Structure 1
């Protein structure tokens, strides 16, 4: 297993393929909502398992905080702890940029997963792309 920052078009296309499978096909997010203008400038990562890309995530800076987005793993690889590795990698990228706070809109079914990684629930449930979400935050300043 390895997580690496996406640096070329081929890797970005692999990330988009994974997102299309997970969010558009599995979760029925409209295609036009899944891919947006932020993809052009966000930092993206891929997680590889047996040298095959199986998960992805992206990071944007929003209101002077790192916002983790589009974190997903192909269904066949969800039992290997790869989501945790994506989050840790994105947090490292945030630290490299000197950011002290990380936030994300987590799907409610993943709230416990993010809590185990040190995130705190910071909102009531809201609907995003037809799916219940919550705002979760984490202070990483002590680790800078």
Structure 2
């Protein structure tokens, strides 16, 4: 049995699980203000949810209708185990299925090499988002 699974979910169906991971990573760990984290866009997105073998949430990502991938978060004990890559691949597959030709994201600067491994390229200079240095990255599908 795999250590974890990734599935696509709606915000309505999995809000508690998605929010728990994002709260732990963004609000508690990275100190993102709660008002910035809950931007009201989640109901319009398709979400990827990673769960451990017992069905506990361990990672999230979301895809907005315009091709923006965001809210990539993996709980600390699960980092560097392929969970982030699996979440990103789920978002890329869904973007292709929806006929999108380009996807983009705002990567935390420390995560740029991760996204580059998946074909994303930096676009522009670094900027602050929620007080954290980010860079815009794009990928053609």
Residue 7 (structure 1) shift: 3.8
Aligned equivalents of 2:14, 2:39: Cα separation in 1: 17
Check 1:95–1:10 CA distance in 2 against 1; reply closer, same or farther (3 A cut): closer
Residue 52 (structure 1) shift: 2.1
Match of 2:28 in 1: 25
Match of 2:57 in 1: 53
Match of 2:37 in 1: 34
Question: Displaced runs of 4+ in structure 1, greater than 6 A?
Answer: none
Aligned equivalents of 2:30, 2:58: Cα separation in 1: 17
Q: TM-score, normalised by structure 1?
A: 0.91
Match of 2:85 in 1: 84
Aligned equivalents of 1:125, 1:48: Cα separation in 2: 32
Aligned equivalents of 1:41, 1:9: Cα separation in 2: 10
Aligned equivalents of 2:97, 2:134: Cα separation in 1: 28
Contact 2:49 2:60 in 1 (8 A): yes
Residue 39 (structure 1) shift: 1.0
Aligned equivalents of 2:95, 2:31: Cα separation in 1: 30
Residue 10 (structure 1) shift: 5.3
Q: Give structure 2 stretches of 5+ with no counterpart.
A: none
Aligned equivalents of 1:24, 1:133: Cα separation in 2: 17
Residue 108 (structure 1) shift: 0.1
Size of the aligned set, in residue pairs, is 137
* Pairs within 5 Å for 1:1-144: 1-7=4-10, 9=12, 11-50=14-53, 51-62=55-66, 66-140=67-141
Residue 11 (structure 1) shift: 1.9
**Structure 2 SS opposite 1:36:** coil
